[in-house]
């Protein structure tokens, strides 16, 4: 197959083109989902989504945890490295593609397709069962927090009451 004048087997084919949107098995899949036409949250919420590669921005982490989807960390700038470290080393809710502590950002440290393949393979493999269990537990905790009587529900209610009192 030709991609911008190159064959898929060539080393110069962009990483996005080297990972087709396929289901790896009947239960878990890997899908490229950064095209704006894709509905990102719907992709994360789909039963076939077994994980995703993330720069570890806070919104991506929250969306992944809300849907119970483990993350492969690929931080690039600023707090993303701290977020990735906490998710990976402290909470055990992610797998590592790379923790780029050199701060070179996009293009500073080229990640090869094989490196992504290994990280995604670990995430999809049986060795990630305990991480998947922790991510599912976090999903339930997040959902319970926003239910009536949950910590987030109660906190926002208190905040609203404080605002009302301050304008009376």
For the stretch 129-138, contacts whose Cβ atoms lie closer than 8 Å and that sit 24 or more positions apart, written own/partner, are: 130/92, 131/70, 131/92, 131/93, 131/94, 131/95, 132/70, 134/91, 134/92, 134/93, 135/64, 135/65, 135/68, 135/69, 135/70, 135/93, 136/68, 138/65, 138/68, 138/91, 138/93
pLDDT in tens, 42-56: 788 888 888 988 889
CA dihedral over 98, 102, 104, 110, signed as positive or negative: negative
Q: How many other C-beta atoms are found inside a 10 Å radius of the C-beta of residue 162?
A: 9
Instruction: Determine the pLDDT at residue 84.
Output: 92
- Better pLDDT: 167 or 104: 167
pLDDT in tens, 101-139: 565 545 556 777 888 888 888 888 888 899 999 999 999
pLDDT at 161 over 60: yes
Average pLDDT, the chain: 77
pLDDT at 10 over 80: no
């Amino acid at each position: 197959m030709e991609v911008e004048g190159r064959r898929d087997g060539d080393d110069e084919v962009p990483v996005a083109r080297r990972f087709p949107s396929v289901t790896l098995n009947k239960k878990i899949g890997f899908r490229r989902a950064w095209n704006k036409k894709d509905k990102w949250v719907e992709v994360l919420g789909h039963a076939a989504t077994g994980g995703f590669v993330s720069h570890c921005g806070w919104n991506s982490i929250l969306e992944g945890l809300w849907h119970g989807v483990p993350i492969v960390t690929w931080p690039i700038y600023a707090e993303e490295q701290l977020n990735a470290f906490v998710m990976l080393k402290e909470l055990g809710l992610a797998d590592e593609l790379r923790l780029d502590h050199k701060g070179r950002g996009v293009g500073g440290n080229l990640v090869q397709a094989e490196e992504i393949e290994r990280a995604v393979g670990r995430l999809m493999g049986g060795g990630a069962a305990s991480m998947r269990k922790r991510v599912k537990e976090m999903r339930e905790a997040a959902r319970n927090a926003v239910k009536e009587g949950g910590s987030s529900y109660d906190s926002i209610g208190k905040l609203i009451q404080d605002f009302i009192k301050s304008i009376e």
